[in-house]
Amino acid sequence: MSTLKKLGVQMGGRAIGTLAETPGGEIYFDYDAQWLADGFSLSPYFSR
């Protein structure tokens, strides 16, 4: 059985996003919508 593995990422009790690994071994990060609305980028490669 193939399962998508997920890990919720938080800072100070606030949701930042979800880190996921696909059954094929690819890793993805998806920012939480509320974090994008008023948080800040954690990546040096992403800017608003």
Residue 23 located in a structural domain: yes
Q: Is pLDDT at 30 greater than 80 in this prediction?
A: yes
Q: The domain containing residue 25 runs over which residues? A: 5-38
Residue 44 located in a structural domain: no
CA–CA dist 18, 16 (Å, integer): 7
- Identify the three-state secondary structure at position 31: strand
Q: Is pLDDT at 10 greater than 90 in this prediction?
A: yes
Residue 29 located in a structural domain: yes
Residue 14 located in a structural domain: yes
Higher pLDDT, 47 or 12: 12
Task: Indicate the DSSP class of residue 37.
Answer: H
Chain mean pLDDT for the chain: 86
pTM score = 0.72
Residue 48 located in a structural domain: no
Q: Is pLDDT at 38 greater than 80 in this prediction?
A: yes
pLDDT at 39: 82
Domain count within the chain? 1
